[in-house]
Copies of this chain bind each other. A is one copy, B any other.
Amino acid sequence: MSDFNVHILGCGSALPTVAHLPSSQVVELRGKLYMIDCGEGAQRQMRLQRLSFGKLVAIFISHLHGDHCFGLPGLISSLGMLGRTGDLHIIGPVGLKRFLEPILELFCDQMAYRVVLTETDTRQAQTVWEDRSVTISTIPLKHRTPTQGYLFREKVTPLHLDKASADFYGIPLAAYPAILRGEDFVSEVGEEVIPNSRLTKRGREARSYAYCSDTSYLPNNAPLIKGVTLLYHEATFLTSESARAGQTGHSTAREAALMAQSAEAKRLLIGHYSARYHATDDLLAEARAIFPCTEAANEGMCLEL
Interface SS majority for chain A:
helix
Query: Which of A22, A46, A73, A98 has the most chain B CB atoms closer than 10 A to its own CB?
Result: A73
B77 & A17 in contact (Cβ 8 Å cutoff) = no
B40 & A44 in contact (Cβ 8 Å cutoff) = yes
Interface residues of A in 62-91 (CB under 8 A from B): 64-67, 70-71, 73-74, 77-78, 81-82
User: Does A16 reach chain B (CB closer than 8 Å)?
Assistant: yes
User: Does A204 reach chain B (CB closer than 8 Å)?
Assistant: no
Measured CB to CB, the closest approach of chain B to A4, in angstroms, equals 26
A15 & B95 in contact (Cβ 8 Å cutoff) = no
Per-residue contact bits, chain A 39-76, to B (CB 8 Å; 1 contact, 0 not): 01101101110000000000000001111001101100
- Distance A15 CA – B84 CA, assembled complex (angstroms): 13
- Distance A71 CA – B77 CA, assembled complex (angstroms): 13
Measured CB to CB, the closest approach of chain B to A62, in angstroms, equals 15
A70 cross-chain contacts in B, Cβ below 8 A: 70, 73-74, 77
- Distance A78 CA – B22 CA, assembled complex (angstroms): 12
User: Does A180 reach chain B (CB closer than 8 Å)?
Assistant: no
Measured CB to CB, the closest approach of chain B to A238, in angstroms, equals 20
B106 & A95 in contact (Cβ 8 Å cutoff) = yes
A48 cross-chain contacts in B, Cβ below 8 A: 18
Measured CB to CB, the closest approach of chain B to A111, in angstroms, equals 12
Interface residues of A in 14-50 (CB under 8 A from B): 14-18, 21-22, 40-41, 43-44, 46-48
A43 and B66 in contact, given A98-B102, A99-B102, A106-B99 (Cβ under 8 angstroms): no
User: Does A103 reach chain B (CB closer than 8 Å)?
Assistant: yes
- Distance A43 CA – B65 CA, assembled complex (angstroms): 16
- Name the residue on B nearest A65 (C-beta): B107
Starting from the known contacts A67-B74, A67-B77, 13 additional A-B residue pairs (CB-CB under 8 Å) come to: A14-B78, A16-B43, A17-B47, A40-B44, A41-B44, A70-B70, A70-B73, A70-B74, A98-B102, A98-B106, A99-B102, A99-B107, A102-B102
Which 3 residue pairs of A and B lie closest in terms of their CB atoms, listed nearest first? A66-B77, A40-B74, A70-B74
* 13 chain-A/chain-B pairs, Cβ below 8 angstroms: A15-B78, A16-B43, A16-B74, A17-B44, A18-B48, A21-B44, A40-B41, A40-B43, A41-B44, A64-B106, A66-B107, A70-B77, A99-B103
